[in-house]
Amino acid sequence: MVEHTQRARLDYVNTVFVVGSGKGGVGKSTVSVNLAVALAQRGASVGLLDGDAYGPSIPLMLGVRKRAASQGTGAVLPLAERKEIAPEKKLQPLLRYGVKVMSVGFFIGEEQAVAPMPDVLGLLIRQLLYSVNWGELDYLIIDLPPGTSEPQATLCREVQLDGAVLVTTPQDIARIDTSKALTMFKNGNVPVLGVIQNMDGFMCPHCGERVEIFPQSREARVQLDDLPLLGRIPLDPSAAAYSDKGYPAVVSMPESPVAQALVDAAEQV
């Protein structure tokens, strides 16, 4: 176990939590966006930091574009000076559905094939924590890339995180990979709040039967089984279609089981 005496508390935010997964494509960004908007709908002041440089999808999911984010001076100052950066010199987050949004995607092209090197990702996330004019926040949600590399390592080492939410599908392989992320957070002394199981079944619109999408033998008993289950979100093609157009489920289809599960999960974090 690593000692974390040097971890800094972000003084502008009450609760910082990260959303992580073992595998890509399980719905981590979808969950991050909807949790953020659901918390904002409850009246909280919320920041959402998209730290997934390999697939920064949050701008798309919220219908925001890089150019809009470059307003303000865009100053990214050396870390040593970070505490002295005046608010007006900081990067301005975008406001969408009541959520302040910043993404590493604003700094790399939408279709750029090459993601920054891992060590750069650690630097970038630090800069975005300290060089963005977040104001005072009740919650800062950080959407992490899948896996256990950077910027996860930098965050676990340097920042006091109040909790981690893990997202997986019911598939064994996703659950096994997500267990590795769990181990990383445990080793970093980050409290794991629970698991959200996404794409958990599909209600056939024709026959009304529930269909399981992924093979799940459950032979692989993984550590995830011992965590609180914060929600089970069904697969719903309309949720994907709305999301691609910039409308999160909790906004575009609030009565749906997808949105309801996400609102319930937001109440538990």
Q: Which residues bind ligand ADP (CB under 6 A)?
A: 21, 24-30, 55, 57, 198-199, 233, 235-236, 239-240, 243, 258
- Inter-residue contact 71 to 62 (CB < 8 Å): no
Torsion of CA 38, 39, 45, 48, to 10 degrees: -70
Report CA 48 to chain centroid distance, whole Å.
7
Q: Which is nearer to ligand ADP, 23 or 100 (CB)?
A: 23
Q: Which is nearer to ligand ADP, 32 or 45 (CB)?
A: 32
- Which residues lie closer than 8 Å to 235 by C-beta, 6 or more apart? 198, 199, 200, 201, 202, 213
Give the shortest CB-4-to-ligand ADP separation in angstroms: 27
- Inter-residue contact 181 to 210 (CB < 8 Å): no
How far apart CA 99 and CA 47 sit, in angstroms, is 6
Give the shortest CB-261-to-ligand ADP separation in angstroms: 9
Q: Which is nearer to ligand ADP, 12 or 54 (CB)?
A: 54
Give the shortest CB-90-to-ligand ADP separation in angstroms: 27
Q: What is the DSSP letter of 189?
A: T
Q: Which is nearer to ligand ADP, 47 or 145 (CB)?
A: 145
Give the shortest CB-258-to-ligand ADP separation in angstroms: 5
| Interaxial angle between packed helices 257-268 and 28-41, expressed in degrees from 0 to 180 and rounded to the nearest 10 | 70
- Let me know the angle formed at the C-alpha of 146 by 143 and 150, rounded to the nearest 5 degrees: 80
Q: Which is nearer to ligand ADP, 45 or 168 (CB)?
A: 168
Q: Is 70 annotated as a binding residue?
A: no
Q: Is 23 annotated as a binding residue?
A: yes
How far apart CA 51 and CA 104 sit, in angstroms, is 6
3-state secondary structure of 251: helix
Q: Which of 161, 138, 148 is nearest to 41 (CA)?
A: 138
Give the shortest CB-52-to-ligand ADP separation in angstroms: 7
Q: Is 13 annotated as a binding residue?
A: no
- Inter-residue contact 184 to 58 (CB < 8 Å): no
Give the shortest CB-194-to-ligand ADP separation in angstroms: 17
Q: Is 22 annotated as a binding residue?
A: yes
Q: Is 165 annotated as a binding residue?
A: no
User: Helix count (H) and strand count (E) of the chain?
Assistant: 9, 10
Q: Is 147 annotated as a binding residue?
A: no
Q: Which is nearer to ligand ADP, 30 or 179 (CB)?
A: 30
Question: Residues annotated in the binding site for ATP, as ranges?
Answer: 22-29
Question: Residues annotated in the binding site, as ranges?
Answer: 22-29
